[in-house]
Amino acid sequence: MRSLTSHPVLGLLAALLFTISLSPDLLGQRLKPGPQDLTFFSTGDETNQPYSIYIPNHFDEEKEYPLVIFLHGAMSNNRLGLRRVFGLGNIQGPEFVVPGHVPAEDDLEATRYWPDIPDCDFIVAAPFARGTAMYKGIAEQDVFDMLADIKSRFNIDEDRMYLTGLSMGGMGTLNLSITRPDLWAAIAPVCAGVPAENTDKIANLSNLPAHIFVGSLDRPEGKRELRDNLLAVGSPVVEYTEYPGIGHNSWEYAYKDGFIFQWFSQFERNLYPERVQFGASKFKYNKAYWVTLDNLTPGTLATIDARFTGTNALEIRSKDLLAFTLNLKGHPLFDPSKKVSITIDGKNFSLKSPENFAFSREKESWTNRKFTPELMSKQNGAEGPMYEAVSSNHVYVYGTADNPTPEELASRRAQAMEAATWALNRGFYQGTITIFPRVVADNNVRQSDLDLSNLVLFGTRETNAVIAKYADRLPLHLNADARDHGLVYIFPMNKRYVLVSSGLPWWTSPPPEPGQGPMSFFANTSKAESLSTTEDFLLFRETNDKVVASGKFDNLWKLPAGAAEKLKASQVVTMK
């Protein structure tokens, strides 16, 4: 039999295959080094979303690289963001001076091209994160979807991941590190205040090195307070730089000459600190290092202060916490061959050494028992409040079940479209919020929508077939004749959320006083953004400031007694 290589055609093919096997560059297209744009698939609204990334000049795919994530400020974008973290602003030179024009490069011009970026041995990424969406809800999820995409493409050293950002992005840096502190090796918020919802959780940063930057003319008092609070909770490294005579543009100095990469390079993540101070008021943010908060009351801050006092010896203090687990495997002060002594709020336990130790509070006392949520318990993905329904993938659904007239059908669709419009005009295009959820009629909702999406349902069980489908499982229904009332509430359904809006929509506000309008840039919010971030339900009459009843369901998704009485007295709501 003739050999493969003796045949003229097959021999050529064999040689080609052998060459390819020795030439990995021919196996697939590789990304070039330097700055460029990539996309990831967002789980927030099932769209492709952009991010900018820097790849080192001498990139080695076998090497683990540290990662810096930069969060841009308001009225900005990912391309400008990638420039900023390298200390590269817009060109101010005389080549841009044109008679009668501003003698500098504006953001749009700067967005059009990549400048020469000095090489560094980091992978650096900047998400778009829906423009000016404050890194909350879907914009927050985008950061982690981007991170997952980066990890799928590159060999990332997860113990050397760093987070920084300026202004709105600095607030995002604090938000994303306070809620998930064990992801990062160090953080650097620039010209940013602490978000109001997390001012009581600064202790969560007690194991994270932090460098705070601010200009002396940029209201530095809050940043000084952050510095002092971090020092008070024992953060391992707290550096503070205040630039005299500088305003909000302190980022120009903070990132100058690649300083941030030099500073970050000192630190690696410590997954096993001796002490964990952590607090959460949501199940979705219930884990840090070797501590998991298994049960809490959503909306109420639950805290734990857990520390090793020696090998296999721990002392724990808690407040408003209902259950927790210690995951000690791998900790250098944990010896699984010996018993562990644990003191919790003054109560002593001496326990054999499993990898995990679980505790629940029962009748004001701690027991060594794992908390198991009931089917209808509030838990991660089923805890509210109302804003959670629009914080991940969701669909707006209007009703057709009562065969409305063409005019009424158009009105219902217009209402759902109004609720779904996030992309308000906030000036230059980077200032918009670019979230584009779908709007569908109830008879066009697919099974995949029920399985994968939260549903924002407009109407009543008489007018919306999806509300009718779940009528027996939903706790509240607005009577069909209650035309001067509005009812809105969130409820878990099939491991997702439904948000029911019956009667007047939740954004029905009183008219502004003459001469009054939005007081700030951020006052121009979408209907979805205007949902209460602290409540599970709201019943109002005529306008949403005339509250009949509002509040939160309890931990079993039951109405509190006082709210139930008010709803019953209204005579416009049927309760399950």
Task: Identify each DSSP E strand in 460-527 by its residue range.
Answer: 476-478, 485-493, 496-503
Between vectors from CA 143 to CA 291 and to CA 172, what angle results, nearest 5°? 75
pTM of the shown model? 0.90
pLDDT at 102: 52
**228-274: per-residue pLDDT in tens?**
999 999 999 999 999 999 999 999 999 999 999 999 999 999 999 99
The pLDDT of 495-521, averaged and rounded, is 79
> What is the mean pLDDT of the segment spanning 464-474?
98
Q: How does pLDDT run across 59-82, given as a tens digit for each residue? A: 999 999 999 999 999 989 999 999
Rounded Cα distance between 15 and 85, Å, is: 47
- Report whether pLDDT(532) > 90: no
Model confidence band, residue 7 (pLDDT cutoffs 50, 70, 90)? low
Sheet containing strand 210-215, edge to edge, reads 34-41, 48-55, 123-127, 65-71, 156-166, 186-190, 210-215, 238-243
Percentage of the chain with pLDDT > 70? 89
Residue 209, pLDDT score: 98
Identity of the residue numbered 256? K
Query: Is pLDDT at 2 greater than 60 in this prediction?
Result: no
Model confidence band, residue 519 (pLDDT cutoffs 50, 70, 90): very low
Burial-class residue 192 by CB neighbours within 10 Å (0-12, 13-18, 19+).
buried
Q: What is the mean pLDDT of residues 275-284?
A: 98
DSSP class of 95: G
